Structure 1
């Protein structure tokens, strides 16, 4: 008697994978800020039984010389466990695999099988014959006995599911229990926990997941590649690349400073629930648009003209022209990986679009580096106004603007989002935005004011007003201090050269940019802090952490720090890893 469709769902559905891990372990059981390098190989072995798995070890699986092997095999043998002879065969073949690994000095860890039935409240996975339950129990007893006899570790998947419940706060609900990706995620978590607990991630380590893979007919039922253990294990490792930057230093934990409380309504009532917060969020957004001017209608279906196209080694570079503000055209660069389909994307913003594609100052080639990592990227910039030193966008005219220029830049980015979202190469749910300095301010306002951006990285923009820092110059007329020409003399506001316009009014009303940051929740963002955004900026960012907690999320607000304003390879790597973790499936 073979297992049916549901049996397949609840059994381990894994591919043969090898993982090369380079990391450093430290005291709080996470990895250090050193990069984790993952070199993965997969091999599909359809319908293989334990005997065949053992026979193929030397010529196949062990050729990679693994340090640790997790055995997740036997699914295709269990249905035979209906008599003592079959149990002996199962045990004997399993032992052959263990012995082959021990002879080569390879550390071995066993996984047992999850149960077929999960009961909780009113939810009960449908009936299975008593014999099937008995077969699983027999297999698990054999695996546990083999672990004891061979003095090796085993991971109890059965108990994880046996303790499954559907009560409030449970990690999994009843629908998720039927999802093979959940089973794989649990297994990946358990394998990862084992490696961390036993300090196996403090050196270069090669890990092998040894399994009898599903048959081709079973694979056709699921998009297996997207739900495999490799995917979930990779996510765990990728998180550890950025996890340290999402941890508030102890001295700043809970410190929200003297900033205006964004969780108090204009009528002085307090936010006490997520429903309250959604209303308060709208109140904040409305008030800031009132200060800065209402946006024109979005250009939701922007046509773009390809000026030229170049085939590069890993991607196609297209110079394009499109309307980003009503009546105003711009050019930019669309970088698309070959054979792209439904990929995540990132908009990069700067003084001009050439820098981000690698034709400007070093360590600012964000669009180029991201396309090499599998993102579609769109690089845009304010070329003409940079050249004439007006530095921004003005609507309808520089001498009669109705929207603060920095807000209008955010609006233009929203139209760039619409352009990307209309491309078949792009997953519109996974479009982020980033920029450095001038571009950091631009990206910050764009992502906070336009909620369709799924994630954002702001490189040293100055995340709050600070008139002691000349480069945090939101008072300038091309940001929030718009006024018709002639313009005030450039520089820090003084009694003889005061700030003008909206910026001055925002200061008088005790408003600050932390009120925009909280609009990001629950979307993740990373401050890539430099000279202008030191570690003390966690104080305003703590407000965003509180906003995310209202949605039930932690680890959505991050900050890295470097001494210089300019980005460097290390700070950029954190940004790229951030987008890979949050935007890639």
Structure 2
């Protein structure tokens, strides 16, 4: 990226953050952004020698570059989407449309689009909703499987969001390993998470092409596997103005990040120099909420997640001002999503995506 383009990107990003400050806060913001006192000393500080917003923006780009070199990150932003509709159903609050589109040359991804009824000419907010680990893939999100509390795509569409639910590549072959091997074949040396992130960014690309979507009001949500994707999408794509990651495991040691379909075994090496604290810091300036279950089978986030979040809060406070909007709702219900927790997710995304000030036409 040239100096002029980088400067322009920094300027636009700063303007977006300024406009966000005008949005109404969730009433429970302080509850989820106040860390326990006994974890404060464990948090990473901002990088040494970074004292101004301009310095931080340079460091922010350097962090992205280091991570991209590790991941083999890529994005086919100019590739035609070639969207095709496979089927469509009219539901009470929205149309549920199964589509397929070109994610990268020679590879297509299925996704559900949930399109609220009767929006007229209004530009609507949008969400990339990323599903968890299930052979049913995106069915839970869109109301085709599981209990109602897991139908987060439908619940968000009922609130007036256009929602896209892309299908993760792990189910393209007979096993996760086979799917990862096939997906990485055109990208030697890349990591499985690079594919997930590229696919999520293509979902954002698609939303931005829809005439009834406000491209300046796009957020992200995911649970478990989807939480990992939502976290990385928010960290690397500034078009995501707010995100929620439910039970993904914010630190590399909290869950199976070393699996080849995520980051691979390199992250377990003693000399691995990258940290998820850096990615949380890249999200700083935008609302980012973790849902943690604290304990139980498969639980990934909880009180132990605070050091990573505090590292992002410190960047918030130093360069973007108060209040910080990086925090955690620790519901203590294990690796699950209750109706009440889902309602908090919706409130967060309504406040920081839907009700985010719109740009003048």
Q: Give the structure-2-normalised TM-score.
A: 0.82
Deviation at 1:336, TM superposition (A): 0.7
Give, in whole Å, the separation in 1 of the partners of 2:79 and 2:216: 15
1:315 matched to 2:85 = no
Q: Tell me, yes or no, if the aligned pair for 1:295 and 1:403 is still in contact at 8 Å.
A: no
Q: Distance in 2 between matches of 1:361 and 1:410?
A: 26
Is the CA contact (8 Å cut-off) linking 2:29 and 2:325 kept in structure 1? no
| SS state at 2:274 partner | coil
Shift of 1:323: 1.1
TM-aligned CA deviation for residue 400 of structure 1: 6.1
The SS at the match of 1:353 is helix
Q: Determine the C-alpha separation between the residues in 2 that align with 1:535 and 1:384.
A: 30
Residues 574 and 394 from structure 1, CA distance in 2 versus in 1: closer, same or farther, beyond 3 angstroms? farther
Q: Is 1:263 paired with 2:26?
A: no
Residue-pair matches, total? 319
Q: Are the aligned partners of 2:252 and 2:267 in contact in 1 as well (CA < 8 Å)?
A: no
Larger Cα Rg: Structure 1 or Structure 2? 1
* Pairing 1:272-421 to 2, within 5 Å after superposition: 272-299=51-78, 301-340=80-119, 341-350=122-131, 351=133, 352-362=137-147, 363-382=149-168, 385=171, 388-390=174-176, 397-398=184-185, 401-421=188-208
Contact in 2 for aligned 1:348/1:435 (Cα 8 Å): yes
Tell me the secondary structure at the aligned position of residue 252 of structure 2: coil
Q: Are 1:474 and 2:261 an aligned pair?
A: no
Corresponding residue number in structure 1 for 2:246: 459
Task: Give the Cα separation in 1 of the matches to 2:274 and 2:169.
Answer: 31
Give the distance between the partners of 1:456 and 1:327, measured in 2 at CA: 30
CA deviations on 1:218-277 (whole Å, 9 max, x unpaired) are xxxxxxxxxxxxxx9xx46xx21444212223333x4344x5x5513xxxxx11111111
Contact 1:385 1:393 in 2 (8 A): no
Q: Match of 2:344?
A: 574
Residue ranges of structure 1 left out of the alignment (5+ in a row)? 1-184, 186-231, 265-269, 482-499
Q: Which residue of 1 aligns with 2:285?
A: 522
Cα distance in 2 between the residues matched to 1:520 and 1:368: 26
Residue in 2 that maps onto 1:557: 326
**Distance in structure 2 (CA, Å) of the matches to 1:433 and 1:394:** 27
Aligned partners of 2:87, 2:145: CA distance in 1, in Å?
A: 20
- SS at structure 2 position matched to 1:356: coil
Asked whether the 8 Å contact 2:201–2:233 carries over to 1, the reply is yes
Q: Is the Cα contact below 8 Å between 1:346 and 1:377 reproduced in 2? A: yes
**Structure 2: 5+ residue stretches without partners:** 1-21, 294-298, 356-361
Which deviates more, 351-360 or 388-397?
388-397
Alpha-carbon distance between aligned partners in 1 of 2:256 and 2:232, rounded to the nearest angstrom: 14
1: CA distance, partners of 2:198 / 2:235 = 11
Equivalent-residue separation in structure 2 for 1:296 and 1:337 (angstroms)? 28
State the superposition RMSD in angstroms: 2.3
1:533 is matched with 301
